[in-house]
Amino acid sequence: MEPLFLKPLPPLDRSADQTLTVQLYRALLAAIRAGDLTGSLPSSRAAAGVFGVARNTVNAAYELLEAEGAVTIRRGAAPVILGRAAPTPTLPIRNDLPRLSERGRSIAASGEDRDRAGPMTPGQPDPDLFPRDLWARLLRRAARLTAGAALGYRHYTGLPALQEALARRLTTDRGMVVTPEQILVTPGAQASLTLLALTLGDPGDTALIEDPGYSGAKMAFRLAGLKLHPLPVDAEGADCGPAPAARLIYLTPANQYPLGVRLSLARRAAFLDHARRHDAVIVEDDYDSEFLWHGRPIAAFQPEAPERIVTIGTAAKALTPGLRLGWIVAPPGLAAALAAAQRSLGLAANVHAQAALAALIEDGRYRAHLFRIAATYGERGRAFARALRAIPGVEAADPSGGVQLTIRLPAGSEAAAHAAVLGAGFAPAALSAFCIGPGQSGLVAGFADATPERIAGFCAALARALKR
């Protein structure tokens, strides 16, 4: 019999993870591509003897080669090789990895600092306070009872039960003017911001954004091609001032992120006037309105102009970011179009998690959970601020809400202080990282998980850094 191959095939390995069929198929295909095997293949009986395998193994490998277009098989005849499965390249072969596009590099770079993790991370709730057993029971119930259209694509923008539960809660607790049809359930705040940036603004449009402000909003707007105009923040919140005409205005009015101040009534009026004169949309980020540590709560901004304001919210602070649950309250005239865009972008939330959250809200246990953790968070925030104020040169006001506070530092000390606290095992953010304009000196640290031991360790590391 003619030699099977111009070059020998690598031996088959019976201990390998790949099946003998796959090993044989790949070895034969490589030989065909290299030109080391031409004409026809031996019969399955002959090949089985050569390779020491069963005929069924050989036949399965030959069928894979036929599906690849490398051979043709006729009953009663040897498989005929059709030639090389891939043409010889005319350009030099490159072995480097595929590269990202310019847009891909921008997206990847924007997300590099978003994986911050560790104690005292700003915006991070205490995972130990997440009601694991209760959530597990709700998920099991949701898995058993969720059926029909809910498991398909019909309710892509939100499970009706959750839309209805959220509409009632937002109306009662936040004073919003909303119907279930206006609510889009998303995989979280960042998904909501991405959807709004891509659909409400065109590349080159201007977006007004708080400075310092939420990095996730800046990222979403920049990647949508919008030009960012910084809004200075003082004790009354963001200042509209002589801002240019804009398409989008991003605000955190209930508890400015990261400085923790409230948007005054006068400033609210100024932003509404600006939006109406320039046909702008206000994006209200109501990210942690559930947590208020002193004073009376202020209602959401949305009721003052339901046709002009889009509000986003999330369960990340009240429960945990890992649930990937957020929502958008859209003006009636925009809700349907945003829902269609949400479907096109694939920004859907897990249906069982939605059903579990709806049940948690409807039976009152969501509010009870908030009340319980709010008491703990408030105590921790005040204790953290007191300890920080005991360090010479450090300013830290008692938080009015949220789960993070801003630590003001002497000029020029931010880098060393940040490095020292990171080195001690904590995960605050540099205040300058939130700024578009000249960076402010300070740190932004979470206090949801601020136990007495962690507060002491954080403050000791910060004090040592400032003494150097």
C-alpha 81 chain-centroid distance = 50
Concatenate the DSSP letters of all residues of 56-88 into one string: HHHHHHHHHHHHHTSEE--TTSPPEE-S-SSPP
- pLDDT greater than 80 at residue 5: no
The pLDDT of residue 6:
52
Domain 1-91 CATH assignment equals 1.10.10.10: yes
What tokens were used for 37?
A: 């095997």
Task: Tell me which of 12-21, 130-139, 241-250, 342-351 is least confident.
Answer: 12-21
- pLDDT greater than 60 at residue 232: yes
Distance CA 2, CA 41 (A): 11
330 band by pLDDT with thresholds 50, 70 and 90: very high
Distance CA 225, CA 219 (A): 10
Q: Helix %, strand %, coil % for the chain, to 5?
A: 45, 15, 45
Instruction: Answer whether 199's CB lies under 8 Å from 395's CB.
Output: no
What pLDDT, in 10s, does the model give residues 273-301?
999 999 999 999 998 777 765 555 568 99
What pLDDT, in 10s, does the model give residues 441-468?
899 999 999 999 999 999 999 999 999 7
Rounded to 10°, the helix 44-51/55-68 angle is 110
Average pLDDT value for residue range 111-140: 86
What residue ranges of the chain are covered by domains with CATH 3.40.640.10? 130-363
Which residue has better confidence, 7 or 321?
Answer: 321
The amino acid occupying position 327 is W
Q: Which of 468, 460, 455 is nearest to 416 (CA)?
A: 468
Share of the chain above pLDDT 70, in %: 93
- pLDDT greater than 50 at residue 3: no
Confirm whether pTM is higher than 0.85.
no
Distance CA 111, CA 216 (A): 9
- pLDDT greater than 60 at residue 1: no
The pLDDT of residue 115:
58
The pLDDT of residue 457:
97
Which residue has better confidence, 386 or 32?
Answer: 386
Q: Which of 254, 261, 258, 248 is nearest to 212 (CA)?
A: 258
What residue ranges of the chain are covered by domains with CATH 1.10.10.10? 1-91
Distance CA 363, CA 352 (A): 17
Which CATH architecture best describes the domain 368-467?
Answer: Alpha-Beta Complex (3.90)
- pLDDT greater than 90 at residue 236: yes
- pLDDT greater than 60 at residue 2: no
Mean pLDDT of the chain: 89
Distance CA 149, CA 438 (A): 52
Fold of 130-363: Aspartate Aminotransferase; domain 2 (3.40.640)
What pLDDT, in 10s, does the model give residues 82-125?
865 455 556 676 667 778 888 788 777 766 555 567 899 998 99
What residue ranges of the chain are covered by domains with CATH 3.90.1150.10? 368-467
The pLDDT of residue 48:
87
